[in-house]
């Protein structure tokens, strides 16, 4: 495996959209590659997110997408690791760990106070990955959502 992680650009949109569509399907959404591409194009063009793309021998095999946050309490920048996905055929080969490393380095390079993520309560495999990579579960705070 010759894994390379790089920040994605619009030039990566086709490869990235295929992975993003797979990610959305994993979470129960219908396949819609055009929608995935339009969403990513808008985020990248407006510089509203940072996406790291993993390639193995040139083939796109995974990505992570981070959104900027600000912490009033810590008076500083933070990043929300909103999406992490590895193509099924590339799982178990260190791709997710490499993407997590890229996210961590980006956080450090931008002076962030922390990175944050959330995952489904029943996604035990992801929880094991995050905890093995130094992430800690927040036992003090509850997360709430308001549908609009």
What's the whole-number average pLDDT of the chain? 95
The model carries a pTM of: 0.94
Q: In the chain, pLDDT over 70 holds for what percent of residues?
A: 99
pLDDT (0 to 100) of residue 120: 87
pLDDT of 67 higher than 90:
yes
Edge-first strand listing for the sheet containing 114-116: 3-7, 50-56, 59-71, 76-86, 114-116
Rounded Cα gap, residues 52 and 99, in angstroms: 7
- Side-chain-side CA neighbours of 9 within 13 Å: the count stands at 2
3-132 folds as Aminopeptidase (3.40.630)
Tokens representing 37?
């591409």
DSSP three-state, residue 46: coil
**How far is C-alpha 36 from the chain's CA centre?**
14
Structure confidence by residue, pLDDT tens digits, 80-90:
999 999 999 99
The domain limits of the chain are 3-132
Phi, psi of 103 (to 5 degrees): -65, -45
Residue 147 banded pLDDT, cuts 50, 70, 90: confident
Mean pLDDT across the stretch 69-80?
Answer: 96
Task: Look at residue 141 in the predicted model and tell me its pLDDT.
Answer: 86
Write down the pLDDT at residue 145.
84
Both structure tokens of 91: 């799982």
Beta strands 50-56 and 3-7, pairing class:
antiparallel
Predicted confidence at residue 146, as pLDDT, reads 86
Read off the pLDDT of each residue in 34-61 and give the average, rounded to a whole number: 97
What are the start-end ranges of the H helices in 46-139?
95-109, 124-132
pLDDT at 1 over 80: no
pLDDT digits (tens, 9 = 90+) for 92-124: 999 999 999 999 999 999 999 999 999 989 989
> For residue 142, what pLDDT is reported?
82
């Amino acid at each position: 495996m010759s894994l390379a992680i790089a920040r994605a650009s619009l030039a990566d949109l086709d490869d990235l959209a295929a992975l993003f569509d797979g990610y959305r399907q994993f979470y129960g959404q219908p396949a819609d590659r055009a929608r995935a591409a339009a969403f990513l194009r808008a985020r990248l063009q407006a510089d509203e997110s940072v996406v790291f793309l993993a390639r193995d021998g040139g083939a796109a095999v995974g990505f992570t997408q981070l959104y900027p946050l600000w912490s009033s309490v810590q008076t500083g920048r933070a990043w929300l690791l909103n999406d992490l996905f590895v193509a099924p055929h590339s799982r178990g080969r260190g791709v997710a760990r490499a993407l997590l490393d890229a996210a961590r380095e980006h956080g450090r390079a931008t002076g962030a106070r922390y990175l944050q993520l959330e995952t489904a309560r029943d996604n035990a495999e992801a929880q094991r990955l995050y905890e093995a990579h130094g992430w800690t579960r927040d036992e003090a705070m509850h997360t709430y959502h308001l549908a609009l």
